[in-house]
Amino acid sequence: MLDVINLSGAEIAEKISSKALTKEETASFFKKRIEQFDQLLNCFVDVFEEYPKSCGDSPLSGVPIAIKDNICIKGKPATCSSKILSGHKAVYDATVITRLKQAGLLILARTNMDEFAFGSSTETSCYGPTRNPWDRSRVAGGSSGGSAAAVAARLVPFALGSDTGGSIRQPSSLCGVVGFKPTYGRVSRYGLIAFGSSLDQIGPITLNFEDCAYLLNIICGSDPKDCTSLITENIDYAKSLHQECKGLTIGLPKEYFGQGLDSQVKDSLEEVRSLFQRKGVSFKDISLPHTEYAVATYYIIGSSEASSNLQRFDGIRYGLRSGCSDLKELYFKSRQAGLGDEAKRRIFLGTYSLSSGYYDAYYLKALKVRRLINDDFQKAFKEVDAILTPTAPTAAFKLGEKIQDPLSMYLSDIYTISANLAGLPAVSFPCGFTKEDLPIGAQLIAKSCDESTLIKLGSLYQDNTDFHKKMPPLEKYIKNG
């Protein structure tokens, strides 16, 4: 059999199309790899014995894909890695799942995540934490940590995640893969179990920009089942691969390169800048002055929306139900047993922000600041085509290092949150390694509906580097027991 592990998803599809590989051989290869290595990483919460039926043809037809545990697959569990949804099975397919099936992809498994996507380390999962394949003593990031770690470890060719404040990009940075958050509304949210309805967006996690572009072609597009879906023309993002970037201008926001940024991350970003400059891309210093309010704004808005969305999980219709003598006790005991500490913290914060007497002081004020953050970006994009920033302030941190310090954990997303508040497309891609051989990610942000520029710049970078081809040393963990 071919050495599948070194093939991209598009290359695997090509081998299947030419009969050099079969779909069954491909699925068997990745399932055996999962059996061998996932005991070390805990990327998956379910690997399917029987796959959801798919049909159709695309440049990725026949290739396995993993799905984050908050995206509905008909007949399969959908738990958001929370005890309160234990036993719940989806009764319909999310729109992205329908499109994957129509494109002929093989839906192989569900991936681990922070409970209800509340976290930046995949440590709040009821299934236990996902470990970073580059160093098992460190986090994989979150909340899509299972998806990012699985792709980095080559347990699947690619995966879907969701991004509310960086939950695709931050774990992709920490695991050394490409994580893409499309423009808000570019991908249907129908069938995504909601965290923050004005912030959530589904997107791909891949090894390279080629696979990313093909997946975007499949999952993007308007959807009448999602009232926030954008009505726009379909774009072939693959046409932006390997295109000329000379003449483009990238902005460098001073607010993203100050205190708190690890020196090794900063040095790697300088190397990214140098490469782009050698290829004819110019740079301009810019300011996004309201960035300092982004974390506070995000946690008020996101928690408020989470508080509203999670009201439906009460022990009546979905999942866990605790014994009780009356309705009030049923609510109390089911939520007390079913929800983790971080989920409760977000619900309390959001409920408080929306409560009478505090709505104007917190939630309404956060909405106004959100508008100012968006205005900063709109002003910047009059002068630049894209913005370059770090994805995360540091490489992967130790398991347990921040789990008891919520504020420190929240600051892990300090560079990714603003793109969600403004609804902009953004991508993280591997751009170097620390002295401890941990991946470092760079982030590019573009104007609304301009995913093509991110694909163009990202593929140019990967055409001239090989960080995305490096593999975690999983075999050493097997040998060392």
pTM over 0.85: yes
pLDDT at 480: 60
* Residue 73 domain flag: yes
* Residue 438 domain flag: yes
pLDDT at 2: 66
Show the tokens assigned to 303. Answer: 């928690």
* Residue 381 domain flag: no
Collapsing DSSP states into helix, strand and coil, what is residue 212? helix
* Residue 373 domain flag: no
pLDDT at 1: 54
pLDDT at 315: 81
Residue in 442, 433, 463, 465 with CA at minimum distance from that of residue 132: 433
Question: For 355-389, what is each residue's pLDDT tens digit?
Answer: 988 999 999 999 999 999 999 999 999 999 999 99
Q: Which domain holds residue 34?
A: 4-246+426-479
* Residue 403 domain flag: no
Catalytic residue among 143, 162, 418, 452: 143
- Which residue in this structure is represented by tokens 């403004």? 422
Q: Is 74 a catalytic residue?
A: no
Q: Is 147 a catalytic residue?
A: no
**Residue 387: which H helix or E strand, with range?**
strand 386-390
* Residue 109 domain flag: yes
* Residue 219 domain flag: yes
Catalytic residue among 23, 31, 68, 456: 68
CATH code for position 475: 3.90.1300.10
CA distances from 201 to 66, 136, 314, 428 (A): 17, 28, 25, 15
Question: For 195-237, what is each residue's pLDDT tens digit?
Answer: 999 999 999 999 999 999 999 999 999 999 999 999 988 899 9
Instruction: Identify the DSSP state of 88.
Output: -
* Residue 324 domain flag: no
User: Counting beta carbons within 10 angstroms of the beta carbon of residue 285, is it exposed (0 to 12), middle (13 to 18) or buried (19 or more)?
Assistant: exposed
Question: For 285-343, what is each residue's pLDDT tens digit?
Answer: 999 999 999 999 999 999 999 999 998 888 887 777 887 778 888 888 888 888 999 99
Q: Is 167 a catalytic residue?
A: yes
The separation between CA 270 and the C-alpha centre of its own chain, rounded to angstroms, equals 25
- Look at the chain and report how many structural domains it folds into: 1
Phi-psi region of 104 (alpha: psi -120 to 50; beta: other; left: phi over 0): left
Catalytic residue among 8, 61, 120, 167: 167
